[in-house]
């Protein structure tokens, strides 16, 4: 019996050492896990703080304004294209009017030749008439020169307008789809920010609840681990008692502290003592098994909560298509495309403005040319009237001249009508070109430059927040993995505690036998 008791005591002593080492190691691992869990929760809180910053709110506000401006961009481009089409149409119509004026000028020239021949045939009576004819000829020469200049500069206008229209068409071909998509993508991005911010508030509340559960779970584990120390103490008590029982059961009565007891009494005492210690060990084993099971459950819940915190972080702040990047990385890319679009608009605008400024300079010269044509036409008309009056005073002799003078008056009237219409067309060209290249367009260029500047500032802010969020998400993922790993290792380490339970039950069985 003595040998059984001593062997059992030895095994229990070894189990006590294992118990102390196991629960100390478990406590250390749990401490590391708790530190990471706290950091995990703090990291999650920092994520929401990034979306609540003033700079980020200003950037989001800028994007709302940019989206509105981008939405208007398509309409602006259509209006400008329509204005260019109108200018091209007016220029073509004006060219036809100038052709009609030139045709009438040639008619008047032929009439003056006929009038000169007729006047020369009536002697001295036609001398004064020849003076009128000479004045008309000089005016025709001035008009012809002006029409030539007008035609040349109108051709320049047509070339410039064709270049502007081609540039506009090429721009539309390259960017029409982008112009249509950018406002929708920006609006979707802004809606995404709003949705994620709302989700962030809900997630923060959820993480707060889980944080409290984590603290409770850690508390439960710590309390359960205290069972390990109690188990070790109970084993030590049993070992001490076993040593005493071994001395009582010693076969040499002289070496026993209970030498006065007869062998039967010693055996009875040892048997009762072993039974009590067996019960003690069985109870300790049951309690240890229950606490170990509780620790496993708590560790599993802690792992689930840690994984859920990481999942919430990724769901709320992560990108749907870019791995561990934040959702802002997608938005940043959309905003960058918007900036490229507006920079393309500015470049196209600068090119078009240069063209339209040249068109405006030429158009203003056309105003002068058409004014000269109208002034000369007025002189010709007056001369024609005077020629009619003069021929009427010549009586029968002047009748042929009266016919020529009447045709001259009619032709100059047609010239006047075309010149008035041409003047209206020239004024339309000037007014429309001024709208495309004047102060209004300068203000539009300044607005585009302001939009580009706002986009640049928004991109800078988004990039900063996106980088911070990406770093935080990366840390969140790493910490979450580490926490789960530590908790898994902690649970695995408790397998040694199960060997302690086995040793307790074996000891109880041997002492009870």
Which residues contact residue 369 at a Cβ distance below 8 angstroms, ignoring those fewer than 6 apart?
Answer: 146, 147, 149, 150, 153
The model's pLDDT over 71-90, given as tens digits with 9 standing for 90+, comes to 777 677 778 888 889 999 99
pLDDT value for 235: 81
- Topology of 2-512 in CATH? Helix Hairpins (1.10.287)
The model's pLDDT over 222-254, given as tens digits with 9 standing for 90+, comes to 666 676 678 778 888 888 888 888 877 776 655
pLDDT value for 156: 93
Confidence of residue 258 (pLDDT cuts 50, 70, 90): low
What's the mean pLDDT in 143-155? 90
Q: pTM for the complete prediction?
A: 0.60
Can you tell me the distance from the alpha carbon of 208 to that of 214, in angstroms, rounded to the nearest whole number? 10
Confidence of residue 173 (pLDDT cuts 50, 70, 90): confident
Q: Give the DSSP letter string of 90-139.
A: HHHHHHHHHHHHHHHHHHHHHHHHHHHHHHHTTGGGGHHHHHHHHHHHHH
The model's pLDDT over 103-138, given as tens digits with 9 standing for 90+, comes to 988 988 888 888 888 878 777 767 777 777 788 888
Can you tell me the distance from the alpha carbon of 323 to that of 315, in angstroms, rounded to the nearest whole number? 11
CA distances to 70, 77, 338, 345, 449 from 181, rounded to whole Å, are 10, 15, 10, 15, 21
pLDDT value for 31: 76
Residue 395's region, left for phi above 0, alpha for psi from -120 to 50, else beta, is left
pLDDT value for 321: 64
pLDDT value for 148: 92
127-248 and 54-120 helices cross at what angle (nearest 10)? 170
Polymer length of the chain? 513
Can you tell me the distance from the alpha carbon of 486 to that of 448, in angstroms, rounded to the nearest whole number? 55
pLDDT value for 224: 63
Calculate the CA 159 to chain-centre distance: 41
Residue 318 backbone dihedrals phi, psi, to 5 degrees: -85, 160
Q: Give the DSSP letter string of 199-218.
A: HHHHHHHHHHHHHHHHHHHH
What tokens appear for 57 in the block?
């709110």
The model's pLDDT over 275-298, given as tens digits with 9 standing for 90+, comes to 998 898 899 888 888 888 877 887
* Placement of tokens 């102390």 in the chain: 20
Residue 493 has pLDDT above 80, yes or no: no
Can you tell me the distance from the alpha carbon of 509 to that of 152, in angstroms, rounded to the nearest whole number? 121
pLDDT value for 231: 78
Can you tell me the distance from the alpha carbon of 189 to that of 330, in angstroms, rounded to the nearest whole number? 8
- How much of the chain exceeds pLDDT 90, in percent? 7
* Placement of tokens 């009439």 in the chain: 111
Can you tell me the distance from the alpha carbon of 462 to that of 28, in angstroms, rounded to the nearest whole number? 41
pLDDT value for 94: 93
Residue 326 backbone dihedrals phi, psi, to 5 degrees: -85, 165
Residues of the chain by 3-state class (helix, strand, coil), percent to 5: 95, 0, 5
Higher local confidence (pLDDT), 143 or 386: 143
Cβ neighbours of 115 (radius 10 Å) = 27
pLDDT value for 254: 59
The model's pLDDT over 14-36, given as tens digits with 9 standing for 90+, comes to 777 777 777 777 777 777 777 77
The model's pLDDT over 410-428, given as tens digits with 9 standing for 90+, comes to 888 888 888 899 999 999 9
Confidence of residue 159 (pLDDT cuts 50, 70, 90): very high
Can you tell me the distance from the alpha carbon of 291 to that of 450, in angstroms, rounded to the nearest whole number? 68
Higher local confidence (pLDDT), 89 or 444: 89
CA angle 311, 315, 58 (to 5 degrees): 130
pLDDT value for 225: 65
Confidence of residue 211 (pLDDT cuts 50, 70, 90): low
pLDDT value for 505: 86
What's the mean pLDDT in 46-68? 76
Residue 434 near residue 360, CB atoms below 8 Å:
yes
The model's pLDDT over 372-391, given as tens digits with 9 standing for 90+, comes to 888 877 877 787 777 778 77
Residue 250 host element (H or E) = none
Domain ranges for the chain, please list them: 2-512
Q: Give the DSSP letter string of 127-146.
A: HHHHHHHHHHHHHHHHHHHH
- Counts of helices then strands in the chain (DSSP H, E): 8, 0
pLDDT value for 74: 67
pLDDT value for 153: 92
What tokens appear for 67 in the block?
């989206």
Confidence of residue 255 (pLDDT cuts 50, 70, 90): low
Rounded to the nearest integer, the mean pLDDT of the chain is: 80
The model's pLDDT over 295-333, given as tens digits with 9 standing for 90+, comes to 788 778 878 887 887 787 777 777 666 666 777 777 777
Residue 147 has pLDDT above 80, yes or no: yes
pLDDT value for 252: 60
Residue 290 host element (H or E) = helix 263-317
pLDDT value for 460: 82
């Amino acid at each position: 019996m003595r040998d059984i008791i001593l062997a059992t005591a030895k095994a229990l002593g070894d189990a006590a050492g294992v118990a102390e080492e196991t629960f100390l190691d478990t406590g250390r691992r749990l401490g590391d896990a708790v530190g990471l869990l706290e950091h995990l929760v703090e990291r999650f809180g920092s994520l929401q703080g990034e979306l609540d910053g003033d700079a980020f709110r200003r950037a989001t506000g800028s994007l709302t304004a940019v989206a509105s401006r981008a939405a208007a961009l398509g309409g602006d481009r259509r209006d400008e294209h329509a204005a260019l089409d109108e200018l091209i149409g007016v220029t073509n119509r004006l060219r036809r009017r100038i052709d009609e004026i030139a045709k009438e000028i040639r008619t008047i020239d032929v009439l003056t030749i006929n009038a000169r021949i007729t006047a020369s045939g009536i002697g001295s009576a036609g001398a004064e008439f020849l003076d009128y004819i000479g004045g008309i000829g000089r005016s025709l020469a001035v008009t012809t020169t002006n029409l030539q200049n007008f035609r040349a500069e109108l051709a320049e206008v047509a070339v410039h307008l064709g270049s502007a229209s081609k540039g506009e068409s090429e721009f539309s071909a390259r960017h029409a789809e982008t112009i249509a998509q950018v406002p929708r993508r920006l609006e979707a991005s802004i809606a995404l920010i709003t949705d994620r911010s709302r989700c962030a508030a809900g997630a923060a509340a959820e993480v707060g609840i889980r944080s409290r559960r984590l603290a409770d779970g850690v508390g439960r584990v710590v309390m359960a681990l205290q069972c390990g120390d109690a188990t070790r103490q109970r084993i030590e008590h049993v070992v001490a008692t076993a040593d005493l029982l071994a001395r009582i059961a010693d076969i040499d009565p002289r070496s026993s502290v209970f030498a006065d007891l007869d062998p039967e009494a010693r055996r009875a005492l040892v048997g009762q003592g072993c039974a009590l210690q067996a019960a003690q060990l069985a109870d300790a084993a049951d309690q240890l098994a229950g606490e170990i099971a509780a620790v496993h459950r708590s560790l599993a819940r802690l792992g689930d909560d840690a994984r859920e915190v990481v999942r919430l972080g990724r769901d709320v702040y992560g990108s749907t298509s870019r791995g561990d990047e934040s959702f802002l990385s997608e938005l940043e890319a959309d905003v960058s495309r918007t900036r490229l679009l507006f920079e393309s608009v500015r470049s196209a605008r600068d090119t078009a403005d240069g063209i339209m400024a040249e068109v405006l300079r030429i158009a203003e010269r056309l105003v002068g040319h058409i004014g000269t044509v109208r002034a000369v036409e007025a002189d010709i008309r007056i001369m024609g009237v005077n020629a009619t009056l003069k021929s009427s005073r010549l009586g029968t002799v002047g009748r042929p001249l009266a016919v020529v003078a009447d045709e001259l008056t009619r032709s100059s009237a047609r010239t006047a009508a075309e010149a008035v219409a041409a003047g209206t067309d020239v004024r339309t060209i000037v007014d429309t070109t001024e709208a495309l290249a004047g102060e209004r367009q300068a203000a539009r260029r300044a607005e585009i430059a302001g939009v580009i500047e706002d986009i640049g500032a928004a991109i800078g802010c988004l990039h900063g927040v996106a980088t911070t969020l990406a770093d935080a998400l990366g840390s969140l993922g790493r910490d979450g993995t580490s926490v789960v790993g530590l908790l898994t290792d902690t649970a695995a380490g408790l397998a040694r505690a199960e060997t302690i339970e086995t040793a307790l039950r074996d000891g109880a069985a041997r002492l009870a036998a």
